[in-house]
Structures are given as C-alpha cells and as structure tokens.
Structure 1
Amino acid sequence: MIKYLIFDLSEVLIRGLIGVEGKLAEKLQIPEKIILKSFASKDLESLCLGNISETEYLNQIIKSENWPISISELKILIRDNFKIEISQMVDFVKQLKKKYILFLCSDHCREWIEYIEEYHSFLELFSRKYYSFENKSLKSDHQTFLNIVKENKLQPEEVVFIDDNVLNTKTAEKVNIRSVIFHNYEQLRKELKF
C-alpha cells in the first residue's frame, strides 16, 4: 500500500529553468535551444550541489556565451519563471496531502529555493524537503533516495516518486521506489488512481 509520495519541484509543481529561454531568446536574439544548452552546463551541477553561488553560475554563462544581459536582469527572468505553477498541480497536492505523507526532493541552489519558498506557500504541505544543495546529493545519485528512506524509516514499496526526468525516476527505481514520469496533472491523477 502506498503511504508516501516524493515530488520533484521544477516542471512538476512549478516552472524551473525551462521556459526562461523564450524571454531570453527574444531579448538576446539567440535560438532557445542554444540558451537551454548554456544553462545545462557542468556548472549547473556545481550550483545545485552548493559548490558555487547563483551569481558565479550566471556570471560564467554570461561571460562564456557573451550574452548582452546583466546578472540582475537574468535573475529577475529566472525568478519570474519560478512564479508559474504547473496547471492544477497545487490543488492536486492539497488533495493528496489528505491521503499521503508528502516529501519534496529537488535539485536546486540555495538562492532559488529561498525565493521559491517565500513565494509559494503551498510548499508547507510537504512533511520534509530535500534539496540537493543541502544534502550535497543529486537525484541522479541513488544515495539521495536511500537517505530519504533511511531518515524517515520508510519501506521503499510504500513510496512513489514523481519526476519529469526519466533518469531520476530510473535512479529511484534502483532502490525499489516505484516511480511515475510526470507529464501533466491528468496523467498523474490517472497513474495514482486518485
């Protein structure tokens, strides 16, 4: 019987970096695909592990890609994107909270989470929140999920992990946590039979 749900944050509950490329492409006159590739550098992993700051990360992108934009402008665009909730998901999480114990597991940096938690009060619905910058562990590392199971004394067969990234879901499955690849609210509701 499923008792616990572990949710990813970006692209499941709110927008993450995906979506920023539209406004940036317009401003910088650069194709969206190139912008997304720039964000997905190795520095993103260092950022999410807490090894570099948001300012260092963005500064490296701006300099290496020669973008004509200030760090403060880029930070505003990113934060504006974080404000956008994924359709129907916040209300769905409120419903799920009545039946399950909810956890959040997200690869993010400190600065972004500070902003997101201040802006999105629904995150209080989660019993525990696991952020990569605090745990020094990404969702691509199975130890992340082993730690959640161990710290909360969970049985893996009682847990479902929900993420939009198939690599992360496969990592959770390596430790016997059932996973659902998130596409949208309707699909998730059907898969959870809720």
Structure 2
Amino acid sequence: MIKLAIFDLDGFLLQGSRFSDFLEKEYHVSKPEFLGILRGRVMPPKCDINTPSFPAWEPYLSVWGLHVNEQEFFDLWFKTEGTHEVMEHFELVKKVKSQVEKVAVMSDNFFERADWIKKTFPSMQLFDFMYFSCENGFTKATERSYKMVLEHFGVQPDETVFIDDDEDSAKLATSLGIHAIYFRNADQLKQELSQVGLSV
C-alpha cells in the first residue's frame, strides 16, 4: 500500500524556459560553463544548507557582461524563465493525495529560487512537505536525499511512489526500493500509477 507520493518540481509541476538558453543567446555564455557553476558550486550533490548562492555567481557576472546587483540578477533569471504551474499535474496530485497519507515535493534548487517558488506559487500549499536540496544539504543525485524524506514521514521505500522527469533520479530511487516512475507523458504516468494501486 502506498502511503507517500513524492513529486518532482521543475519539469513536472513547474515548467518554463531555461536561463542557460537566455544567457547563451543574449550574452554568449556557454551552457557547459553556466551548468558547471550551477551543478558544481551552487548545487553540488552535498551542498551547504540555507546558503545564498549569489557569491558563487558574482565573480562571473561582469565577465559575462551582466552589470547587475543581486536583486537584479535573480529578477532577470526568474522573469526570463517564465516559470508557470502545470495545472493538470497539480490536479493529478490532488487525486493521488486523496488515496495516500501524505504528498511531498523533492527539488534540487538553490536558496534564492526555493524562496521565490514558495512565495510565488500558492498551489505549493497542497503538499505536506517540500524538500529543497538547499535546505536539507543533499541533491537527488544522493541516496541520502530520498532517505531523509522517507525518515521525515516514517515510511518504507515500498510504501512510497516517486515521480520525476529525470531518468537518473528515477533509477536511483528505484535502486532504494522506491516505486519510481520516470515521467514521459500523462498516459504513461497514469498507467504506471495504476500499477501501484493509484487511480487518476
């Protein structure tokens, strides 16, 4: 019996364009350089808790031709992405929530964006727990992140379903005994949820 359903955030519940695409097009910043900083310094697998990320970005901004302060940088980032809620997926969460004990979000995110998400999207109140890597110290690339969520609710891996559009995250969760679903489309997701006893 499934007691806990965990949902990925970006790419499933929230969608938008990538800031890396904007920087590459407008400022000729290569994606490997940008992503190297994001995943290597700002959000490594084991990261500092509740630590602002701007100091990691600041040395690169003038080099990239971005003459902005901290507030302007993140305003540009979040506005450019145009992040919005995928309402049909939130409706799916509501249906799942009626059949399980708890629902949670797991997200690899940095301090400023996690704070912005919580303030911007009221639909996030639907969840009983929001796991952000910047608040807990581990990204979804680590076993520890999943174990922390399970421990928070006191459930076993086989009592948990996890939905993510990232195949590597789904594979890692599966290796821990979690019923992980690699999301590709709505019909596929509904079919795989039905296989663990959840009707949507």
TM-score scaled by length of structure 2: 0.80
**1:9 Cα deviation after fit:** 1.1
Q: Which stretch of the first structure deviates more once superposed, 81-90 or 175-184? A: 81-90
Query: Which SS does the other structure have where 2:64 is aligned?
Result: coil
Letter in 2 for 1:12: F
What is the total number of aligned residue pairs between the two structures?
188
Aligned to 1:124: 125
The CA distance in 1 between the partners of 2:47 and 2:55, in whole Å, is 13
TM-score scaled by length of structure 1: 0.82
1:37-186 equivalent positions in 2, closer than 5 A: 37-41=33-37, 42-46=40-44, 49-50=47-48, 52-63=51-62, 66-69=63-66, 70-71=68-69, 72-80=71-79, 81=81, 83-86=83-86, 88-100=88-100, 101-186=102-187
Letter in 1 for 2:186: Y
Q: Is contact 2:42-2:110 (8 Å) kept?
A: no
* Structure 2 unpaired stretches of 5+: 195-199
Query: Which SS does the other structure have where 1:154 is aligned?
Result: coil
Q: Is contact 1:39-1:61 (8 Å) kept?
A: no
Percent of aligned pairs sharing the same letter: 24
**Superposition RMSD on alpha carbons, in Å?**
2.6
Alpha-carbon distance change, 163 to 141 in structure 1, aligned in 2, over 3 angstroms: same
Alpha-carbon distance change, 68 to 46 in structure 1, aligned in 2, over 3 angstroms: same
**1:121 Cα deviation after fit:** 0.8
